[in-house]
Amino acid sequence: MRSDRRSFVFSFVLLSALWGGVLLVERCGGDDKEGEALANDSIADSTYLRRQTYEKYNRFDKRDKKERFYAVPEQKVETFPFDPNTADSTTFLRLGLPPYMVRNIYKYRAKGGRYHQTEDFKRIYGMTPELWKRLGPMIRIGEDYRFYPKDTARTHRFETDSSSSRRRADTTQWIQKYKERVQLDANRVDTNTLKRIPGIGSVLSRRIVRYREELGGFSSDTQLSEIEGLPDSIGNWLKIKTGVYRQIPVNRADFSTLRRHPYMSVEKTKVIMRHRRLHGDLKSLDDLRMYPEFTEADLQRLAPYLIF
């Protein structure tokens, strides 16, 4: 009897445990399904909200799309006399030239190019017949940039082949020299105008323009004597009428930019780079006076070309 009772109790406990496990599994499974359903509802709500927000801020008629995104204030185009050799970017934009044409003009002038005749301006990339018809009559070439008349050019003829006895024309033009002394701006004159100065040819004219570009512009008349081969009378023809047009930011320029200037050496450049690394930005030329690499003469020559 006692063993039967124990068997009955054990069977009852085992069945109760199994039944409780079944209920627990169903409850957990139900919770999982409920959680999954809630998650799906949350994703659906989030997607719906995003769609509503997108439609709210992007619901506009196609007709006002251009006005909404591309409408810009229309710039008034003006027409007035100008000199393409001295006009600034604001003047060109007022005349109706697009920005890329203005950049091309500046690049051409920075390399020493100048417009000597009205027709020279017509060769700019992007010049349209309509734009030229409006601007052509307004061009006024300054006296310093005006080219000599074509009828003053001489054409030499010579025989290139004695066996054929054919005479060919030499297309090389003879440049008429200045007969009277004129004062030219050393920072704006180009190679063609320089060649009109007595004693200046193609080699020396290119040498002047190249040294001017390396400096960033002449700051003193005495700098012309630093160019090899120039006649002593060059100072009677060239004067500094405009200042330096390019300066070096000492605290931002890299090693190669500083070293490229004619008045800078490797040692001087290393001093500046080391000072910036150890002590921070330079405040003025006085910070360089403490270094033996910079003499007082060096600082005076560099003063117009350095900005702090």
Q: Is residue 17 part of a domain?
A: no
The predicted structure's pLDDT at residue 226: 92
Q: Is residue 160 part of a domain?
A: no
Question: Which of the listed residues 228, 244, 260 is the one where a domain comes to its end?
Answer: 244
Give the 3-state secondary structure of 231-268. CHHHHHCEECCCCCCCCEECCCCCHHHHHHCCCCCHHH
Question: Which of the listed residues 220, 244, 268 is the one where a domain comes to its end?
Answer: 244
Q: Retrieve residue 142's tokens.
A: 């300054």
CATH of the domain at 212: 1.10.150
Q: Is residue 129 part of a domain?
A: yes
Same domain, 135 and 179: no
The predicted structure's pLDDT at residue 162: 42
Distance from CA of residue 157 to its chain's centroid? Answer: 47
Q: Is residue 216 part of a domain?
A: yes
How big is the CA angle at 229 (ends 228 and 230), to the nearest 5 degrees? 100
Q: Is residue 42 part of a domain?
A: no
- The structural domain count of the chain equals 3
Q: Is residue 11 part of a domain?
A: no
Out of 2-16, 52-66, 166-180, 240-254, least confident range:
52-66
Best-predicted range by mean pLDDT (60-69, 146-155, 236-245, 263-272): 263-272
Question: Which of the listed residues 244, 272, 290 is the one where a domain comes to its end?
Answer: 244
**pTM, full prediction:** 0.46
Parent domain of 179: 174-244
The predicted structure's pLDDT at residue 149: 47
Q: What is the pLDDT of residues 166-207, one digit of tens each?
A: 444 444 456 788 878 888 999 999 999 999 998 898 899 999
Q: Is residue 107 part of a domain?
A: yes
How many Å apart are CA 190 and CA 131, to the nearest integer? 26
Same domain, 142 and 202: no
What average pLDDT does the chain have? Answer: 78
Q: What is the pLDDT of residues 197-231, one digit of tens each?
A: 988 988 999 999 999 999 999 999 899 999 999 98
Q: Is residue 6 part of a domain?
A: no
